[in-house]
């Protein structure tokens, strides 16, 4: 598989080539694939989409039970917006989706859900305690510093993974810190 190609499409082309080859072979020759990487990648993508949808539904259900509908909808919309922006940036900079990059997205999905609920819960608490709107910018600034430091910590953990792992494993893992950092 060459960089820049779609492995799922490549797998379909290989299947067609095998079928053509089987037609020209004697019946006693058995042709079989020993690895099904396109199928694994396709399964990973469908698993990610399923996990993504489960996360959205879980966030909306939990927040609808605990918080007002408006707040729940804000929490639910942060996930698809964040992931779509991330996928757009990844496409723009040329990072391909494969097993490792999808694993990074699933990992970060938990952080997105957690952070959106914490921020919204904090806002609802301030509204419940009838803080004046003038105090809101300072709270936003505190949240910004808190989450910036948190994300910097995550990046400090994962960036060495893409730099320090040698060989083929390092080549495969180099997208992990990129996806985590962008998301």
Domain that holds residue 162: 54-182
User: Do the Cβ atoms of 38 and 11 come closer than 8 Å?
Assistant: yes
49 inside domain: no
- Residue 65 domain-assigned (yes or no): yes
Q: Give the separation between CA 154 and CA 174, rounded to whole angstroms.
A: 15
d(CA 176, CA 79): 19
- Residue 29: inside a domain, yes or no? no
What does pTM read for this prediction?
0.67
17 belongs to a structural domain? no
Please state the domain count of the chain: 1
Please check whether residue 130 lies inside any domain of the structure: yes
The answer to whether residue 1 is domain-embedded is no
Q: What is the mean pLDDT of each run of 10 residues along the chain (183 residues)?
A: 69 85 83 80 80 76 75 76 89 83 81 77 76 64 79 84 80 84 87
Tokens of residue 127, six digits? 């509204």
Which of these, 95, 109, 84, lies nearest to 178 by C-alpha position? Answer: 95
169 in a domain, yes or no?
yes
Whether residue 21 lies inside any domain: the answer is no
CB-side exposure of 159: number of CA atoms within 13 Å? 8
């Amino acid at each position: 598989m060459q960089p820049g190609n779609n492995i799922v499409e490549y797998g379909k082309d290989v299947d067609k080539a095998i079928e053509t080859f089987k037609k020209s072979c004697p019946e006693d020759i058995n042709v079989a694939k020993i690895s099904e990487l396109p199928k694994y990648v396709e399964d990973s993508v469908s698993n990610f989409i399923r996990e993504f949808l489960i996360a959205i539904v879980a966030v909306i259900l939990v927040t609808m039970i605990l918080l007002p509908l408006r707040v729940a909808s804000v929490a639910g919309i942060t996930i698809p917006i964040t992931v779509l922006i991330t996928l757009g940036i990844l496409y723009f900079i040329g990072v391909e989706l494969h097993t490792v990059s999808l694993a990074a997205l699933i990992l970060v999905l938990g952080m997105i859900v957690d952070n959106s609920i914490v921020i919204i819960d904090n806002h609802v608490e301030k509204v419940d305690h009838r803080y004046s709107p003038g105090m809101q910018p300072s709270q936003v600034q505190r949240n910004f510093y808190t989450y910036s430091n948190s994300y910097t910590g995550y990046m400090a953990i994962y960036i060495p993974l893409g730099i320090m792992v040698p060989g083929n494993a390092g080549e495969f893992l180099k997208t992990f810190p990129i996806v985590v950092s962008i998301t």
